[in-house]
Amino acid sequence: MKKRILITGAAGFIGSNLIHKLLKTGCYCVIGLDNFDAFYPRAAKEQNIAPFAEDKNFRFYEGDIRNRADLDALDDIDVIVHLAAKAGVRPSIKDPILYQDVNVGGTQNLLEFARRRGIKQFVFASSSSVYGINAHVPWSEDDKLMPISPYASTKLSCEMLGHVYSHLYGIRFLALRFFTVYGPGQRPDLAIHKFFRAISSGQPIPVFGDGSTSRDYTYVEDTVRGIEAAILYESSDFEVINLGNHRTITLEGLIEAIEESCGKKAIIDRQPEQPGDVPQTYADIAKARKILQYSPSTDLKTGLDNFYSWYRQTQEQDPL
């Protein structure tokens, strides 16, 4: 029988890319759940999942992870892949209570749902932001964690909740720490999407700080392959795993690479550094290589070119 996978945040960027990958294999039935949070336009999310509407192995439910009735209405499930969350470091500083409610409360509600239903595999989307400011790079899963934003603290809280439910109820919990995922379908608020849109239209791009901050940009197809490996993982009951690219680039270098893809120069709008932002991210992926056979293979130029190709194809009906 095909594994039945619940994906929360199914209409989002990573969720829709994951659905595409899982359905393409023919090995899974996918149940998607999303509440179409207003963080960015509903039309963009509906566009993300429109290609799956006629697939017999896909069912979609509109619902909220905080609502028990919405979860109880779902089909039988073998594995939960929990991607839904209130996203963004800076917005979390403005409304930390909401982020706690959705991210931590919603995750606990899902874990309770898993306990009630006897679902034994739970894959959770954590974040590199849990590392905070840590000059010892690359970051390994054993490093000291010092989150500096409410968003980051909620992700760490969810990891610890997963450990509790794994210990008490035998739910295998895999926390995957994502490192700046990008690619076709990326959220419109994220840097790469914003920069391509602004540069293409001749608008200035906001650059916070002096451009020396660096990120470990990870192409979405590589992240999705890591998630699928976690869906199939059975060797231990609780793991925290970095899913990064193990390469970094400065913000200044990223802008130059985007200019090359666009064939246009950026207009820089220099802004002060933002609270909650970390100066660098850089993943040690030795553990992911060992236990998930994870091996990111997409270089930044290829990934940016793929994104730009998608962007040009969709910009005419861009709901933004």
Q: Report the 10 Å Cβ neighbour count for 98.
A: 13
Rounded Cα distance between 190 and 165, Å, is: 32
> Which residues fall within 8 angstroms of residue 189, CB to CB, at 6 or more apart?
39, 40, 87, 88
The separation between the first and the last C-alpha atoms of the chain, rounded to the nearest angstrom, is 41
According to the 3-state scheme, what is the secondary structure of 264-276?
CCCEEEEECCCCC
Which of 191, 195, 184 lies closest to 262, judged by CA? 195
Buried b (16+ CB within 10 A) or exposed e, 250-282: ebbebbebbeebbeeebeeeeeeeeebebebbb
Which of 41, 38, 46 lies closest to 15, judged by CA? 46
**Catalytic residue IDs:** 151
